[in-house]
Amino acid sequence: MCIRDSFTGASTPPGTATPAGWGSSTLQYTIDGGTTWVDLLVINDSNHVVSTSCATKTATIPAGTVPTGTSVQMRFNHVRLAGDWYIYLDNISIQQAFSAETVDWGNLQWPPNGTANVGAAFDAYGQVYKAGVTEPAGQGAGINAWVGYSTSNTDPSTWSNWIPATYNAAGPSNNNDEYSANIGGAIAAPGTYYYATRYNYNGGAYYYGGYNATGGGAWDGTNNVNGVLSVLAPVGFACNNPIQISSLPYSTSDNTSNYGDYIDGTPGATGCGSTSNYLNGNDVFYSYTPTTDGAIDVTMTPGGTWSGIFVYTSCSNIGTGCVAGVANSGSTPRVITAMPVTAGTTYYFVISTWAAPQTVSYQLQISQHVMGVSNGVKASNVEIYPNPTSDVLNVKGMTPASVKVFAMDGKAVPVTFDGSIINMHKLPAGAYIVQITDKEGNTVSKRIVKK
């Protein structure tokens, strides 16, 4: 390289800082033998710091500007506008930046999605191409491959979990090399995960591969995307793989020590019977989907203290809000009576404890609630009419001391009553469970339709 110093104006160094209006000093380069000079760094009044000491300046020729094999020349061009001044140049260093080699193409070959239990194997495959390297038979020298995963569907270049991939000798017979890695064995918790591939050549720049049904290529988040893996806990360990109750009545005895502790915190802010940390122990999950509208009774009898049972209509509601719930520090049965259920809606039951004792033995019983009267009063003697109703309900054969009305999602709705008349006028049309209790504690629960 040739460095040319073009200097205009000078005399004896003044020994003081250069005043404003002095002129400019420009670092320039040319790639056509000096026909055209390109400004790379300009120092003038706009950026000159008035000082009697020197400063370090750096400049970079943008990548791709200089074609391969081109001669680059540089010069410092100084222009005087006023006064006498000097430019001191020292420790000039011109370096060519390292341009990392990379592969020419790579993808996430398959599968685009999948499901696996925690700890189970799940292999993801990718193919890579590098001209002159992967075309011959066998593994191309210098190729490195990984499969990465994340809980976020984001740019894989931001991920930190990468599993080295192994060359697949039984892969395609085309110009690509195929690699695979088992990411399932590295994932220890249930949930949704995203995966992609990563390649480099001779330790150069990374190339991230995404999936597309037509072949895929460089990940861009739109056309070539991440794969999706649903990781399930063993049955009963998490909400996405609960113990399924197919019919009622249901009864079981078990211990939460047989399950895991994938969630912690409070059961929810509303409807759970407690907002304390009753999910901090081991948790067991059940689900039930009724085929008809109605109501159910739930009894969980713990073998120890500090436990609870909580009911949700969505896994996403866990920790937010319950349909019903009972929890306390004692060891008495946790009882949910006449919980309304809607046909086709899945209800999730979670049994857990505080962090101490962490686990608890229990008996769980779930049965259809008999729409009738407790404490020996005959259901046939009690009428709630008209049914359907568009306005009010009349109660015959029983004098209400309290009235509760539940929507079919289990949530209580406000109503008023006066003697034996229940005002349903403000409720939206739909099915409801009306629960009436008299002063002796007798309770009636019946399904009512509001027109």
Q: In the structure encoding, which two tokens stand for residue 164, read together?
A: 């080295």
The number of angstroms, rounded, from the C-alpha of 267 to the middle of its chain's C-alpha atoms is 20
**What CA–CA distance (Å, rounded) separates 436 from 168?**
70
Which residue stretches of the chain have pLDDT < 50? 1-13, 373
Q: What is the pTM of this model?
A: 0.53
Q: In the structure encoding, which two tokens stand for residue 447, read together?
A: 């399904």
Strand-by-strand arrangement of the 412-413 sheet: 412-413, 402-407, 430-437, 443-450
CA distances to 41, 43, 67, 127 from 96, in Å: 17, 23, 13, 33
Q: Which pLDDT does position 2 carry in this prediction?
A: 29
**What CA–CA distance (Å, rounded) separates 196 from 194?**
7
Percent of the chain with pLDDT over 90: 61
**What CA–CA distance (Å, rounded) separates 351 from 256?**
8
Question: What residue type is 403 in one-letter code?
Answer: V
Q: Which pLDDT does position 8 carry in this prediction?
A: 40
**What CA–CA distance (Å, rounded) separates 291 from 25?**
84
Could you give the 3-state DSSP secondary structure of residue 157?
A: helix
- Note the residue count of the chain: 451
Q: By CB neighbour count within 10 A (0-12 exposed, 13-18 middle, 19+ buried), where does 57 fall?
A: exposed
Q: Which pLDDT does position 161 carry in this prediction?
A: 98
Q: Which pLDDT does position 99 carry in this prediction?
A: 57
Q: Which pLDDT does position 445 carry in this prediction?
A: 79
Q: Which pLDDT does position 176 carry in this prediction?
A: 97
Nearest to 143 by CA among 130, 160, 159: 130
Cis peptide bond prior to 62, omega within 30° of 0? no
Q: Which pLDDT does position 257 carry in this prediction?
A: 96
Query: Residues 6 or more apart from 217 whose CB is under 8 A from it?
Result: 105, 106, 107, 209, 210, 223, 224
**What CA–CA distance (Å, rounded) separates 351 from 253?**
12
Q: Which pLDDT does position 437 carry in this prediction?
A: 86
- Phi first, then psi, for residue 217 (nearest 5°) are 165, -150
Q: Which pLDDT does position 24 carry in this prediction?
A: 87
Q: Which pLDDT does position 125 carry in this prediction?
A: 98
Domains within the chain, CATH numbers bracketed: 1-99 (no CATH), 105-232 (2.60.40.650), 243-368 (2.60.120.380), 379-450 (2.60.40.1270)
Q: Which pLDDT does position 143 carry in this prediction?
A: 96
Q: Which pLDDT does position 408 carry in this prediction?
A: 73
Q: How far apart are the first and last CA of the chain?
A: 91
Nearest to 368 by CA among 337, 335, 327, 347: 337
Strands 217-218 and 207-210: antiparallel
Cis peptide bond prior to 249, omega within 30° of 0? yes
Number of neighbours of residue 206 by Cβ within 10 angstroms: 16
Query: Residues 6 or more apart from 155 whose CB is under 8 A from it?
Result: 208, 219, 221
Q: Which pLDDT does position 4 carry in this prediction?
A: 33
Contact 211, 108 (CB under 8 A): yes
Q: Which pLDDT does position 411 carry in this prediction?
A: 75
Question: What residue type is 92 in one-letter code?
Answer: I
| Each residue's pLDDT tens digit, 68-81 | 678 899 998 888 88
